[in-house]
Amino acid sequence: MSSRTQYNEKEECKGAQAPKTKVLRQFGPLLVAMVGLPGRGKSVLAKRLSRYLNYTGDKTRVYDISAYRRKHVKEYGSHEMFRADNLPAWRIRQKSFREALEDAAAWLQDSNNNVAILDGPNVSRGQRQEIYDLIYKQLGFRVMFIECVCEDPVLLERNFKEILRYSSDYRDMATEEALKDLTHKMAHYQAQYESPTLGSLWELPCPMVKILDDGDGGIIAHGVNGQKESKILAYISTPKQKQQTLYFSRHGESEYNVIGKIGGNARLSPRGRMYGKALAKHIHALNLPGLQVWTSTLQRTKETVAGIQAPQQHLPELDEIWSGECESLTYEELQERFPKELALRDREKLKYRYPQGESYIDVMCRLIPVLTQLECETNVLTISHQAVLRCVLGYFLETPPDEIPYIHVPLHTIIKLTLKGHSYSMETVKMAIDCVDTNRAKPLNCSENRTAAEALLTLPKHYDSLSNLNNLMSCT
Amino acid sequence: MSSRTQYNEKEECKGAQAPKTKVLRQFGPLLVAMVGLPGRGKSVLAKRLSRYLNYTGDKTRVYDISAYRRKHVKEYGSHEMFRADNLPAWRIRQKSFREALEDAAAWLQDSNNNVAILDGPNVSRGQRQEIYDLIYKQLGFRVMFIECVCEDPVLLERNFKEILRYSSDYRDMATEEALKDLTHKMAHYQAQYESPTLGSLWELPCPMVKILDDGDGGIIAHGVNGQKESKILAYISTPKQKQQTLYFSRHGESEYNVIGKIGGNARLSPRGRMYGKALAKHIHALNLPGLQVWTSTLQRTKETVAGIQAPQQHLPELDEIWSGECESLTYEELQERFPKELALRDREKLKYRYPQGESYIDVMCRLIPVLTQLECETNVLTISHQAVLRCVLGYFLETPPDEIPYIHVPLHTIIKLTLKGHSYSMETVKMAIDCVDTNRAKPLNCSENRTAAEALLTLPKHYDSLSNLNNLMSCT
């Protein structure tokens, strides 16, 4: 996808009146409906998928049926409300299902939106038919079902623990009681479960994907057609890590950082080499099993990890944003030689492309294979660059795209992401080795007619030459 | 993917010595080995997949084991050579298998190459183990198996007919005799077939995908991990058309075409509107079942199909290459205002990006969803633009990327692509309605110091204003 089509424009037929014939739907909005018993990993998958689709240009939202139920039943009582023969409770659950479905349908009718994920058990054939009838027959949008099947007792236990830990239903319940309640709840759903059959027996003329044991047992897919559907299949077919810690850092301070130049392929400054040593010491002390190191192909990232004992890969996808004709210039030189370009960039940093170079969106696109592979790994230390790591953090922390170019990623700082439930938490460790600041905030004045002083107002201090820095270091 | 990583650079670990630990392989070269009886659609799938991977930036080559066998046995005798107990013939087949495998392995060791597809039955567990041992254990590359299973008698009959029609083994045999021979050949392979089992019983620790009935019966995937593998899974999981005719045309001559301007969103010229009418008449006369019309979102394509009775979609992916700051200029103006840019573009037209605009590679990337969806359709008339249709034809006809920007796609011409076996044949119908020529060949002199005359040497004649053309038309 180019930046033009990815974030700016939409096919015109979207959100239009329901088309009369099947052929109009290939590029239209999509509803993904989850199917499966509690504790099968549906919600985690739905939220991961949503993160991936949003980042890759398909505006996506999750509609969680249990959140609707909680609006009607403020305080969670017990598993009794999931019994098939508890008619008043069944009415509430059915009402919640319909409200979530209708909200999802309404959301898809806005032509800015692409995918809605209906997260819930959807265990009965009747519910699935209702989804299909509203979304496909009535609105003319696409529908895809994803069933999570899990029989592995180890995985089930882990999933149950996650529910007890993160579900608001069990926030105020003792662990033992909660586990008992969840087991009963599951039995009630099991009694109502009409698992979709596959092949020619699958009940609806739309794609159906079964994921076995969180993907570890493989997948079975039937009737997958359409671009969004095959993109989703590719994403969900690779089993992701369930527990995961990822480490990130920019390279140590480079000779270009010191003198305020962007891009290039400079070596580390003396302080940057010190950071490399401190980083190696810190990482080795963590004793991470199966540690891997991924860097860009530029020498400042390779030099940074030279002392780390672990398998290393050097990936061009991790190279710094390519600033084309502006490579190796300082911001002062940029302002002098390309004042209009600098103003354009300040105005719309996400989409701005350097002359013969890249934009942040270009970097986001080229990073996708690395990001999705990182989700399948643990204990990877990724050493990259300011703009690239902004895009990486933007993915895992679900930062709105426009804010990605302004995420603060300082030098000489280790960033740790830990998967908790379906979201990532971030910790940072600032190492005690001085370095320049390279974070230039958005200037107030972004017009082409601004003065040089206005353009450079937010530029942090840097040295005029490397020898300045070396003199300073030898004095202290 | 950005243009930088897609065609220029490769991860450094590629083609290096076999890595010592498993973790180094996520982004490395991949061997895809086909598995299945004759007539199950392996070769067609292998060649389609190769076309897709090459276009999307993974340099791919198919190694067809039967082509190696034909080198040793120049003249095809009969099915007898496929009997399990025909030892001399078995030796030749085994030798052919090894030669193809070794050539594929050697090819993957060149760091410019990404994927090798080993096309052949690979029906025995021993052969699959040999593939795995050489490629994964010895070379440290990735391996993935794709098995084609087909039980549908209608599909089988169609596949058999295709083999009789396109296989060089049967070129000189009468149809009835050939069919009998092929049936025997299949029986011999059936006797030697050890179909891979799935789930925990699958014999090798690498991805295995089963495609049922050419994809119509769904797919089963196990152990898919890695970027290339999930990309391949997404591609092969959507069933493609087996018989297919696709129609393409540029919009009718536009007001900008007449006066030699590029880009923009102009309306049709009077001659362009005449073409629209002639096109509708031509297409209606073909009486194509299930006809669909796809256009760009620009008014010149929509106006061109205004008279066609069929469901229409307007896709931004089909919009003309965006020339950024050069939009709505003539080549004369371009040369006057951006002589350096024009020279750069002439020098490397595939990768050249207009200032704040797109390159051909950008267009190729954004077209991928439309191209893969077109493979699932038939009788689609796609109305788009010169640069976009060059990329579209480049995909289906497997044009080397560097030649794509020079493919001749004249105005007022209908292009028909028909799938024959695994490749597409092209026919063109030039409609008898005059129009300007917009095809500017690569100039001999592409240096920045050339004169304006040299830069404009290959520019075809156009009118200075639309009224010139109208006057001309009213005179004739």
Question: B311 contacts in A (CB within 8 Å)?
Answer: 19-21, 23-24
Angle between helices A42-55 and A386-396 (to 10 degrees): 140
Instruction: Indicate if B160 and B46 belong to the same structural domain.
Output: yes
CB A123 within 8 A of CB A147: no
pLDDT at A157: 87
Q: How many CB atoms lie within 10 A of CB B172?
A: 9
Looking at the predicted structure, is the pLDDT value of residue B15 above 50?
no
Least confident stretch, A4-13, B215-224, B454-463: A4-13
pLDDT at B6: 36
- Nearest residue in B to A363, CA atom: B2
The CATH number covering residue A201 comes to: 3.40.50.300
Average pLDDT over residues B355-361: 92
Average pLDDT of chain A? 90
Looking at the predicted structure, is the pLDDT value of residue A200 above 80?
no
Average pLDDT over residues A392-405: 97
Average pLDDT over residues A388-413: 97
Active site residue A282: no
Residues 6+ apart with CB under 8 A from A475: none
Q: Tell me the Ramachandran region of residue B356: left when phi exceeds 0, alpha when psi lies from -120 to 50, beta otherwise.
A: left
Residues 6+ apart with CB under 8 A from B287: none
Looking at the predicted structure, is the pLDDT value of residue B23 above 60?
no
Q: To the nearest whole angstrom, how far is the Cα of A240 from the nearest Cα of chain B?
A: 9
Instruction: Indicate if A173 and A87 belong to the same structural domain.
Output: yes
Among A190, A219, A237, give the residue marking a domain's end: A237
pLDDT at A161: 86
Average pLDDT over residues A315-337: 96
Structure confidence at residue B77 as a pLDDT band (50, 70, 90): confident
Q: CB-CB: which of B24, B222, B292 is closest to A23?
A: B292
pLDDT at A19: 38
Instruction: Indicate if A120 and A266 belong to the same structural domain.
Output: no
Question: How many percent of chain B have pLDDT more than 70?
Answer: 94
Among B206, B237, B268, give the residue marking a domain's end: B237
Instruction: Indicate if B218 and B352 belong to the same structural domain.
Output: no
CB B460 within 8 A of CB B436: yes
Looking at the predicted structure, is the pLDDT value of residue B95 above 90?
yes
CA separation for the pair B24, B19 (Å, rounded) = 6
Question: B212 contacts in A (CB within 8 Å)?
Answer: 199
CA separation for the pair B25, B20 (Å, rounded) = 10
**Candidates A64, A119, A147, A362; catalytic one:** A119
**Candidates A64, A147, A150, A358; catalytic one:** A150
The DSSP symbol for A151 reads -
Instruction: Indicate if B181 and B146 belong to the same structural domain.
Output: yes
| Higher pLDDT, residue A342 or A163 | A342
| Higher pLDDT, residue B332 or B10 | B332
Establish if A12 belongs to a structural domain. Answer: no
Whole-angstrom CA distances from A466 to A270, A411, A471, B140 are 10, 17, 9, 43
Looking at the predicted structure, is the pLDDT value of residue A259 above 90?
yes
Q: Which of A21, A113, A33 is nearest to B377 (CA)?
A: A21
Q: What is the DSSP string of B6-21?
A: III---TTTTSSPPSS
Hey, which bits of A346-434 come out as E strands? 380-384, 413-420, 423-430
pLDDT at B167: 84
The CATH number covering residue B331 comes to: 3.40.50.1240
Question: How many percent of chain B have pLDDT more than 90?
Answer: 70
- Nearest residue in A to B368, CA atom: A1
Question: B316 contacts in A (CB within 8 Å)?
Answer: 4-5, 9-11
CA separation for the pair B94, B87 (Å, rounded) = 10
Backbone angles phi, psi at A381, to 5 degrees: -100, 115
Pairing state between β A245-250 and A312-314: unpaired
**Chain segment B159-190, per-residue pLDDT in tens:** 888 888 888 888 888 888 888 888 888 888 88
CA separation for the pair B419, A411 (Å, rounded) = 55
CA separation for the pair A236, A447 (Å, rounded) = 44
Query: Where does A109-140 have alpha helices with state H?
Result: 125-132
Question: A377 contacts in B (CB within 8 Å)?
Answer: 26
Q: Which residue type does B383 have?
A: I
Say what the pTM is: 0.90
pLDDT at A130: 96
Residues 6+ apart with CB under 8 A from A402: A350
**Chain segment B432-474, per-residue pLDDT in tens:** 999 999 999 999 999 999 999 999 999 998 888 888 777 777 7
Contact A313 B27 (CB under 8 A): yes
Active site residue B251: yes
Instruction: Indicate if B367 and B435 belong to the same structural domain.
Output: yes
Q: To the nearest whole angstrom, how far is the Cα of B421 from the nearest Cα of chain A?
A: 22
Instruction: Indicate if A272 and A217 belong to the same structural domain.
Output: no
**Chain segment A266-297, per-residue pLDDT in tens:** 999 999 999 999 999 999 999 999 999 999 99
CA separation for the pair A316, A297 (Å, rounded) = 5
CA separation for the pair A437, B148 (Å, rounded) = 57
Establish if A1 belongs to a structural domain. Answer: no
CB B59 within 8 A of CB B112: yes
Least confident stretch, B225-239, B252-266, B404-418: B225-239
Scan for tokens 């690498």, then name that residue.
Answer: B206
Q: What is the largest CA-CA distance in chain A?
A: 82
Average pLDDT over residues B194-213: 83
Structure confidence at residue B81 as a pLDDT band (50, 70, 90): confident
Instruction: Indicate if A88 and A172 belong to the same structural domain.
Output: yes
- Nearest residue in B to A315, CA atom: B11
Average pLDDT over residues A409-426: 95
Instruction: Indicate if A233 and A250 belong to the same structural domain.
Output: no
CA separation for the pair A326, B30 (Å, rounded) = 36
Interface test with B, best of A26, A327, A342 (most B CBs within 10 A): A26
Looking at the predicted structure, is the pLDDT value of residue B41 above 70?
yes
Instruction: Indicate if B165 and B52 belong to the same structural domain.
Output: yes
Interface test with B, best of A206, A313, A318 (most B CBs within 10 A): A313
Active site residue B348: no
The DSSP symbol for B170 reads G
Looking at the predicted structure, is the pLDDT value of residue A4 above 60?
no
**Chain segment B129-145, per-residue pLDDT in tens:** 999 999 999 999 999 99
| Higher pLDDT, residue B13 or A315 | A315
pLDDT at A175: 85
pLDDT at B85: 87
ipTM: 0.88
Looking at the predicted structure, is the pLDDT value of residue B9 above 50?
no
Instruction: Indicate if A228 and A257 belong to the same structural domain.
Output: no
Q: CB-CB: which of B21, B230, B376 is closest to A225?
A: B376
Establish if A462 belongs to a structural domain. Answer: yes
pLDDT at B332: 95
Scan for tokens 């080397």, then name that residue.
Answer: B400
Looking at the predicted structure, is the pLDDT value of residue A22 above 90?
no
Tokens standing for B291?
């006809």
Structure confidence at residue B476 as a pLDDT band (50, 70, 90): low
Looking at the predicted structure, is the pLDDT value of residue A12 above 70?
no
Question: A20 contacts in B (CB within 8 Å)?
Answer: 311
Q: To the nearest whole angstrom, how far is the Cα of A430 from the nearest Cα of chain B?
A: 28
Residues 6+ apart with CB under 8 A from B85: none
Average pLDDT over residues A313-340: 96
Interface test with A, best of B230, B231, B373 (most A CBs within 10 A): B230
Instruction: Indicate if B304 and B220 belong to the same structural domain.
Output: no
Residues 6+ apart with CB under 8 A from A126: none
The total number of residues written for chain B in this structure: 476
Structure confidence at residue A9 as a pLDDT band (50, 70, 90): very low
| Higher pLDDT, residue A79 or A244 | A244
Residues spanned by the domain of B279? 245-475
**Candidates A320, A346, A358, A375; catalytic one:** A320
Establish if A18 belongs to a structural domain. Answer: no
Is residue A158 classed exposed, middle or buried when 0-12, 13-18 and 19+ CB atoms within 10 A define those classes?
A: middle
Q: Which residue type does B347 have?
A: R
Average pLDDT over residues A403-431: 96
pLDDT at B11: 37
Is residue B464 classed exposed, middle or buried when 0-12, 13-18 and 19+ CB atoms within 10 A define those classes?
A: exposed
Establish if A65 belongs to a structural domain. Answer: yes
CB B209 within 8 A of CB B144: yes
B345: helix, strand or coil: helix
Looking at the predicted structure, is the pLDDT value of residue A15 above 60?
no
pLDDT at A73: 86
Residue A190, Cα to own-chain centre: how many angstroms? 32
Q: CB-CB: which of B2, B222, B239 is closest to A225?
A: B239
Q: How many CA atoms lie within 13 A of B347 on its CB side?
A: 12
CA separation for the pair A82, A75 (Å, rounded) = 14
Q: Which of A367, A150, A159, A166 is nearest to A243 (CA)?
A: A159
Structure confidence at residue A372 as a pLDDT band (50, 70, 90): very high
Backbone angles phi, psi at B162, to 5 degrees: -65, -40
CB B258 within 8 A of CB B437: no
Among A208, A237, A266, give the residue marking a domain's end: A237
| Higher pLDDT, residue A1 or A49 | A49
Tokens standing for A456?
């450079």
CA separation for the pair B213, B153 (Å, rounded) = 10
pLDDT at B199: 61
Average pLDDT over residues B207-226: 90
Average pLDDT over residues B258-283: 97
Active site residue A408: no
Tally of domains in chain A: 2
Q: What element of type H or E holds A103? A: helix A87-108
Structure confidence at residue A199 as a pLDDT band (50, 70, 90): low
